[in-house]
């Protein structure tokens, strides 16, 4: 599959842009990798409005609706800016020598910088505007007349960008910024990362206005209870062990899962699910040990057993629900359907 191939998935009210980066020679991080941002903009320009963005490369890197809306807004701005600077901008031959070099600079920013570094494009446009104002004082009357439409369009482009959510959030961090610097993107964008074999979506961040009531462990899983303002219900926040694995262990789990997925269970295995689980646990342990040796990864027995438990949970088990079922403090679980914005309580 080609690097950056995408599909659009509708889940309830959500429109998810899912971009496959399995064959990309770089990490699918929007905030760190300019090539990923360019792939995203190319997709958004074709797709239009989406509510969530997911990059796939062994794990799913999910950007929520708030982050996605900033990028969708910028894609719309890009379309407008390119349209406002058409190739026929120079209409009078006498103005060619004045306008053409400026126009080339603006086009370079739009076509070569914007899609991979929109903040950098904004900074470069501001710099170009300052240079033009300094040069205006030295130009003859005919030069000023020729360049005025270009200056007006340049000012409009900067104004449009300044009204976007991304640039508004970036402004406090622009001191000392240079195009190509990704530090501001790391502040503004942070994906939820989950194993690609896990289909349940979790809220990774703690609620900003929540008051922590209790915190405890359920096996290797972290549970925190929050009290929310203007709500009589407490929020149950869980961070499963599989969300805290390093890349090598994800690789092992993914490889082991692919092997186990080929197993066709017999009817008799469903009669005794406990025995089936015990068999799969033993197979998983042996499989993980073999794969770890093949990949030259050192695993302690406790680490291998923890991985085997996760593996079984997502092959013959109940997935994330098992984490909740293992918590003695949980009394009721209600699963709402369909998928989309309807949460699990």
Q: Provide the Cα torsion 117, 122, 128, 131; round to 10°.
A: -130
Residue ranges of domains in the chain: 1-196, 242-319
Give the pLDDT confidence of 125-135 residue by residue, as tens digits: 999 999 998 88
Give pTM, 2 decimals: 0.67
Q: How many Å apart are CA 190 and CA 39, to the nearest integer?
A: 18
Q: How many Å apart are CA 131 and CA 137, to the nearest integer?
A: 11
Give the pLDDT confidence of 260-285 residue by residue, as tens digits: 777 666 666 656 778 888 888 888 88
What pLDDT is stored for residue 200 in this prediction? Answer: 58
Q: What tokens does 308 get?
A: 């085997």
For the chain, which residues score pLDDT lower than 50?
Answer: 340, 344-345
Cβ neighbour number for residue 262 with a 10 Å cutoff:
6
Collect contacts of 163-170 with beta carbons under 8 A, ≥24 apart. Answer: 164/70, 164/73, 164/74, 164/77, 165/69, 165/70, 165/73, 166/70, 166/71, 166/73, 166/74, 166/118, 166/119, 167/118, 167/119, 167/122, 169/70, 170/119, 170/122
């Amino acid at each position: 599959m080609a690097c950056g191939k995408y599909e659009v998935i509708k889940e309830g009210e959500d429109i998810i842009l899912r971009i496959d980066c399995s064959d990309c020679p770089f990490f699918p991080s929007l905030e760190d990798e300019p090539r990923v941002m360019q792939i995203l903009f190319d997709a958004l320009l074709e797709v239009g409005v989406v509510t969530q963005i997911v990059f796939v490369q062994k794990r799913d890197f999910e950007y929520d609706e708030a982050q996605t809306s900033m990028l969708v807004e910028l894609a719309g701005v890009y379309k407008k800016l390119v349209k406002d600077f058409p190739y026929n901008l120079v209409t009078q031959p006498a103005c060619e020598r004045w306008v053409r070099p400026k126009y080339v600079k603006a086009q370079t920013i739009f076509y070569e910088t914007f899609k991979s570094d929109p903040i950098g494009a904004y900074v470069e446009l501001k710099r170009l505007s300052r240079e033009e104002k300094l040069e205006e004082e030295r130009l003859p009357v005919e030069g000023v007349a020729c360049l005025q439409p270009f200056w007006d369009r340049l000012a409009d482009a900067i104004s449009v960008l300044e009204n976007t959510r991304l640039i508004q959030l970036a402004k406090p961090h622009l001191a000392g910024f240079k195009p190509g610097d990704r530090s501001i993107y790391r502040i503004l964008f942070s994906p939820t990362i989950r194993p690609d074999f896990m289909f349940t979506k979790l809220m990774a961040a703690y609620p900003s206005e929540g008051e922590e009531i209790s915190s405890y462990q359920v096996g290797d899983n972290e549970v925190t209870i929050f009290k929310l303002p203007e709500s009589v219900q407490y929020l149950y926040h869980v961070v499963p062990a599989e969300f805290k694995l390093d890349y090598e262990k994800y690789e092992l789990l993914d490889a082991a899962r692919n092997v186990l997925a080929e197993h066709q269970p017999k009817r008799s295995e469903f009669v005794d699910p406990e025995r089936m689980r015990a068999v799969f646990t033993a197979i998983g342990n042996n499989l993980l040990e073999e794969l770890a040796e093949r990949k030259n990864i050192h695993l302690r027995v406790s680490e291998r057993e923890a991985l085997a438990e996760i593996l079984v949970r997502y092959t013959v088990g109940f997935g994330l629900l098992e984490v909740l079922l293992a918590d003695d403090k949980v009394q009721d679980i209600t699963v709402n359907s369909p998928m989309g914005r309807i949460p699990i309580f």
